[in-house]
């Protein structure tokens, strides 16, 4: 006789995230079963967790208590479709499938449509925190079929990180693909956060000639103040690390060619599709793409002219300006990310809980930062905030820091140091605070060559001018 199905949850995909989430679930007292195509991963999982690791999806499903809960942690794209195709004939109405990978939200929309009528409850859940977060407590952003939430809530909230006030970093995001959309925006902000930190490092290195060890101390100091965040902390650690073989700072030995898996690009594409201004997120993606053409850059560095100036100012004062510039740019990037979510909210009618989202990003995830508590408070003051920049707290932060952002961007331009994310954050700030922009001339140009019409400030309606004089 086969044993009574009793596992609380099945993990499909026992790689970096899957295995660590399984260990986390096991530690929290849940009975876990796991499956991976790779036999060695199944064996390692069974050894580390003491849980069952059946050899087929059929046996996996048979080991689960009903209604069944399955968490997919396979690579985004075709593997998710493959697993779903294998699972579908094995599942019944009321069973819950959670895709915890970095799935593009449009794929989640498609899969929800494909499962319609099956009774299977589908959840797209963004998970952030990397290997360590998966093991100790990630931030989790589930969205999809709300009927699944009462059943999966105790499981997901038990394994999630907790913010300082004890609130779990996992809450219901909304219907359809909202969970994966929010995770995509998280990653877009992550790209911008990482790029602005890299630009701060680059400026201190290129203009002030600072060594990684000195910059490690600077970042460690910043991490104790208003820039307190996981990414600043790990930057300090990285800069302090010495290569054992050569005795040199390890960071100096790492090739300056960035890779990417696509979530930042998707966030930028979504911004373009939804008509949202998110230049700092997009520039963070472009900063990776230009870094990747290293051979061309090396060749161009011997051909193309740039300024010869060397830095002559007060180094200590400049480091403080860079800190303020980093804070200002960070606020601009978060403002863009929240604008992107607001536009999706309008488009799809998701009713996204912006304050809750900021709250659950306070711990566990890669962008966790002190600033997120301020964002949570901003949305508590005004749930319909048109832009984070106009919240009273953040308007004051920008009032205090925008001049440093200007000075740093100007210094970078004068010395020929590329800081695309700082520059686009400043342009974003200045564009958003400008009551008048030159789009009046642009509209006239469109009307001139294409009779596209324009609107006037002094009366309603659409107008066309016959611009060319005979």
Ligand X SMILES: O=C(CO)[C@H](O)[C@H](O)COP(=O)(O)O
Which residues of the chain form contacts with ligand NDP (CB under 6 A)?
Answer: 12-18, 35-38, 41, 73-76, 79, 82-83, 101-102, 127-128, 130
Residue 15 interacts with, from ligand X, ligand NDP, none (CB under 5-8 Å by kind): ligand NDP
Q: If we measure between CA atoms, which residue out of 108, 105, 140 comes closest to residue 122? A: 108
Instruction: Name residue 256's beta-bridge partners.
Output: none
Is 187 annotated to bind ligand?
yes
Residue 101 interacts with, from ligand X, ligand NDP, none (CB under 5-8 Å by kind): ligand NDP
What does the chain come to in residues? 470
Residue closer to ligand X (CB basis): 190 or 391: 190
Concerning whether 31 is annotated as a catalytic residue, the answer is: no
Residue 158 interacts with, from ligand X, ligand NDP, none (CB under 5-8 Å by kind): none
For the CA atoms of 411, 413, 417, 420, the dihedral, rounded to the nearest 10 degrees, stands at 110
Residue closer to ligand X (CB basis): 15 or 130: 130
CB closest to ligand X, residue no: 128
Residues 138 and 365: their CA atoms lie apart, in Å, by 6
Which one of 19, 190, 265, 330 is the catalytic residue?
190
Rounded (5°) CA angle 169-284-414: 130
Q: Terminus-to-terminus CA distance in the chain, angstroms?
A: 94
Regarding 277 and contact with ligand X (CB under 6 A), the answer is: no
Which one of 59, 82, 116, 183 is the catalytic residue?
183
Residue 63 interacts with, from ligand NDP, ligand X, none (CB under 5-8 Å by kind): none
CA distances from 375 to 128, 223, 354 (A): 19, 18, 9
Least gap, CB of 462 to ligand NDP (angstroms): 46
Concerning whether 190 is annotated as a catalytic residue, the answer is: yes
Secondary structure (DSSP) of 124-159 = EEEEESHHHHHHH--EEEEEE-GGGHHHHHHHHHHH
Least gap, CB of 401 to ligand X (angstroms): 26
CA distances from 230 to 137, 189, 219, 248 (A): 14, 13, 11, 25
Regarding 261 and contact with ligand X (CB under 6 A), the answer is: yes
User: Using CB under 6 A, which of 24, 49, 63, 102 touches ligand X?
Assistant: 102
Regarding 130 and contact with ligand X (CB under 6 A), the answer is: yes
CA distances from 352 to 63, 357, 370 (A): 36, 8, 22
- φ/ψ of 319, rounded to 5, equals -60, -40
Regarding 433 and contact with ligand X (CB under 6 A), the answer is: no
Residue closer to ligand NDP (CB basis): 130 or 221: 130
Is 128 annotated to bind ligand?
yes
Is 186 annotated to bind ligand?
yes
Tell me whether strands 69-72 and 9-12 are parallel, antiparallel or unpaired: parallel
- CA–chain centroid gap for 67, Å, is 32
Regarding 263 and contact with ligand X (CB under 6 A), the answer is: yes
* 279's tokens: 């230049």
Residues 149 and 155: their CA atoms lie apart, in Å, by 10
**Which residues contribute to the annotated binding site?**
102, 128-130, 186-187, 191, 261, 288, 446, 452
Contacts to ligand X by CB under 6 A:
102, 128, 130, 187, 190, 260-261, 263-264, 366
Catalytic sites, residue numbers: 183, 190
Binding-site residue numbers for substrate are 102, 128-130, 186-187, 191, 261, 288, 446, 452
């Amino acid at each position: 006789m086969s044993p009574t199905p009793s596992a609380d949850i099945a993990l499909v995909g026992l790689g970096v995230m899957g295995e660590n989430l399984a260990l986390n679930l096991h530690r929290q007292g849940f009975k876990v079963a796991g499956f991976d195509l790779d036999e060695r991963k199944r064996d390692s999982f069974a050894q580390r967790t003491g849980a069952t690791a059946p050899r087929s999806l059929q046996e996996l499903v048979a080991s689960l208590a009903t209604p069944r809960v399955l968490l997919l942690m396979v690579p985004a794209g075709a593997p998710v479709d493959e697993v779903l195709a294998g699972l579908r004939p094995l599942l019944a109405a009321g069973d819950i499938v959670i895709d915890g990978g970095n799935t593009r939200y449009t794929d989640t929309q498609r899969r929800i449509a494909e499962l319609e009528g099956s009774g299977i409850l589908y959840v797209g859940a963004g998970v952030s925190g990397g290997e360590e977060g998966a093991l100790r407590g990630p931030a989790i952003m589930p969205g999809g079929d709300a009927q699944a939430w009462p059943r999966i809530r105790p499981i997901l909230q038990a394994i999630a990180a907790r913010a300082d006030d004890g609130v779990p970093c996992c809450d219901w995001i909304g219907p359809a693909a909202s969970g994966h959309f929010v995770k995509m925006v998280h990653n877009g902000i992550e790209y911008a956060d990482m790029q602005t930190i890299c630009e701060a490092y680059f400026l201190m290195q290129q203009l002030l000639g600072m060594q990684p060890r000195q910059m490690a101390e600077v970042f460690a100091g910043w991490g104790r103040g208003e820039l307190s965040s996981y990414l600043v902390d790990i930057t300090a650690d990285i800069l302090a690390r010495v290569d054992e073989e050569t005795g040199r700072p390890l960071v100096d030995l790492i090739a300056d060619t960035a890779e990417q898996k696509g979530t930042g690009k998707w966030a930028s594409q979504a911004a373009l599709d939804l008509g949202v201004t998110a230049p700092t997120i997009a520039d963070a993606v472009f900063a990776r793409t230009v870094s990747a053409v290293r051979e061309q850059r090396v060749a161009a560095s011997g051909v193309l002219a740039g300024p010869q100036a060397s830095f002559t100012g007060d180094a200590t004062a400049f480091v403080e300006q860079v800190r303020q510039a980093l804070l200002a740019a960070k606020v601009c990037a978060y403002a863009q990310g929240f604008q992107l979510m607001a536009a999706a909210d309008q488009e799809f009618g998701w009713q996204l809980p912006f304050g809750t989202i900021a709250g659950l990003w306070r711990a566990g995830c890669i962008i966790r930062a002190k600033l997120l508590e301020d964002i949570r408070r901003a949305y508590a003051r005004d749930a319909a905030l048109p832009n984070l920049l106009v919240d009273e707290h953040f308007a004051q932060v920008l009032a205090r820091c925008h001049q440093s952002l200007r000075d740093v961007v100007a210094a970078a331009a004068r010395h020929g140091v590329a800081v695309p994310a700082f520059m686009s954050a400043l342009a974003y700030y200045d564009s958003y605070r400008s009551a008048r922009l030159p789009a009046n001339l642009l509209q006239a140009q469109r009307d001139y060559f294409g009779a596209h019409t324009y609107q006037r400030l002094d009366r309603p309606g659409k107008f066309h001018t016959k611009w060319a004089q005979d």
